[in-house]
Structure formats: C-alpha cells, structure tokens
C-alpha cells in the first residue's frame, strides 16, 4: 500500500471523517500533538488505519478507520485523546466537523492495488 | 458555515471518501479539471456538498456528500465525469482509494455551529 493510504480490510467497517480548519496559531504545538494522536490512535483496539492531509489554507481532512462503533467511542473517551480534544477546541481549531460513517463498498486504482 | 465545510443536513446521508496521491505531473491541467469537477458535482441530483484538501506532499482527500447511493452511481456515470476519471487514471494519480459510506451521526465545534 502506498504511503498515506490506510490498508483497510473488505467492508463493512467504520470511518470517522474529521474536517478541520486550523486557526493559524501554535503550529509547533499542534504538529506535535497531531503526530502523537496519530500514533496513539493506531494502537487502539479496532483501529484499522488513518489517512490525513492539510492544505496550505489550513483546511485539513483526517479519516480514521475502525472495525466498529464501540471502538470509535472508546477512542473518543481515551484520556490522552480527551486532553488533546480540549486543547484543539481551546487553541488550535477555528472550526471542525466530525462524521461517523459505515463504509459499505470501495475500490482503488489506477491499478487495482 | 465556514468556507471549506459542507453544509449537510442531519444524517443519514452518504459520503464518498476519495483519497488520492498526485504523481506531480501536469499541475495546471489537473487543477483546471479538479475545479471543473467540483463545480459539476455540486449541481448533480442528490449532491449535498463537498470538502477537499491536498497537502504539499501531493496526498489529497476529497469527501463528497450525497443524499443516497443512486445519486452517487449517477455521478460516477456522468459523461464529463467519466472523461475526467479516465484522465485521472492516465495522467494525474499515482494511486487512489474510493470508499462509499453511510453517515450515521455527526457533530461540530468548537462552538456547535
């Protein structure tokens, strides 16, 4: 699987789509926390992978994949993650929108990998 | 709704999560087509909005929201979109992964907008 892509199993599984707008403040603090959270998320029960990117305008989309809803709720309640969520609201995000969705089908390309 | 965020209705609705890695070639041609496709997608039956970003490393995530699966299949089969898909495979993408998912719940912040 190429770098940046989540190597997920055949559906069904769940996706947490997190769209966020950075406020342009504290880039270093944000980057450190984001890296720590990606690493922590990867080790959670039910975690299947993560895809994340952010443009020069500060708009970012992160999609984290999990086996089931219970795993998503457990990750949201993780103590270190709760601290990060609080800082995100206070310091780093101008706006965010989170959606939980059940992946039903998928395909890849151009070569079907 | 802040710029870059899709103003979607209460769930359920569908998300098409398109993760892609640009190959670094033909930036101008790609940018023109991407802009045309975002505009065209917005006018499709069942289209609810789109969120899209790409980082400096060429990894991009676009999430297009639709009312239902039939609308997604109709958009995939749109003649102009089919031509764009073909060019994407031939010229612009090193890799891509597309997932269709049903959004079940959501929230936003920091202020609940």
pLDDT tens per residue across span B15-71: 999 999 999 999 999 999 999 999 999 999 999 999 999 999 999 999 999 999 999
Residues of chain A whose beta carbon is less than 8 angstroms from a beta carbon of chain B are: 2, 4-6, 8, 11, 15, 17, 19, 21, 51-57, 59-61, 63, 88-90, 93-111, 113
**Length in residues, chain B:** 113
In chain A, residues with a C-beta closer than 8 Å to the C-beta of B89 are 109-110
Predicted local confidence at residue B1, as pLDDT: 87
Smallest CA–CA separation between A85 and chain B, in Å?
10
Q: Are B16 and B63 in contact (CB under 8 A)?
A: yes
How close is the nearest chain B Cα to the Cα of A76, in Å? 13
Return the number of CB contacts < 8 Å for A and B.
137
Residues of A with Cβ-Cβ distance to B97 under 8 angstroms: 5-6, 106-108
Question: What ipTM was reported for this prediction?
Answer: 0.96
Whether A81 contacts A37, CB under 8 Å? yes
C-beta of residue A10 within 8 angstroms of C-beta of residue A107: no
Give pLDDT, residue B112: 58
Q: Do residue B99 and residue A55 have CB atoms under 8 angstroms apart?
A: no
- Considering only CB atoms, B15 lies closest to which of A51, A56, A99, namely A99
Q: For chain A, what percent of residues have pLDDT higher than 90?
A: 96
pLDDT band of residue B111 (cuts 50, 70, 90) is confident
Q: What is the pLDDT of residues A82-95, one digit of tens each?
A: 999 999 999 999 99
Residue A81 neighbours by CB distance under 10 Å:
17
List of chain B residues whose C-beta atoms are within 8 Å of the C-beta of residue A73: none
């Amino acid at each position: 699987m190429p770098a940046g892509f989540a190597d997920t199993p055949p559906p069904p599984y769940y996706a947490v789509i997190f769209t966020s707008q950075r406020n342009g403040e504290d880039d270093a603090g944000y980057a450190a926390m984001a890296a720590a959270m990606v690493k922590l998320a990867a080790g959670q029960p039910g975690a299947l992978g993560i895809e994340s990117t952010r443009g020069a305008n500060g708009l970012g989309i992160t999609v984290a994949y999990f086996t089931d809803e219970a795993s998503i709720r457990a990750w949201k309640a993780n103590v270190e993650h709760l601290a990060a969520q609080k800082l995100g609201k206070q310091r780093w995000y101008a706006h965010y929108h989170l959606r939980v969705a059940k992946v039903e089908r998928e395909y890849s390309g151009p070569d079907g990998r």
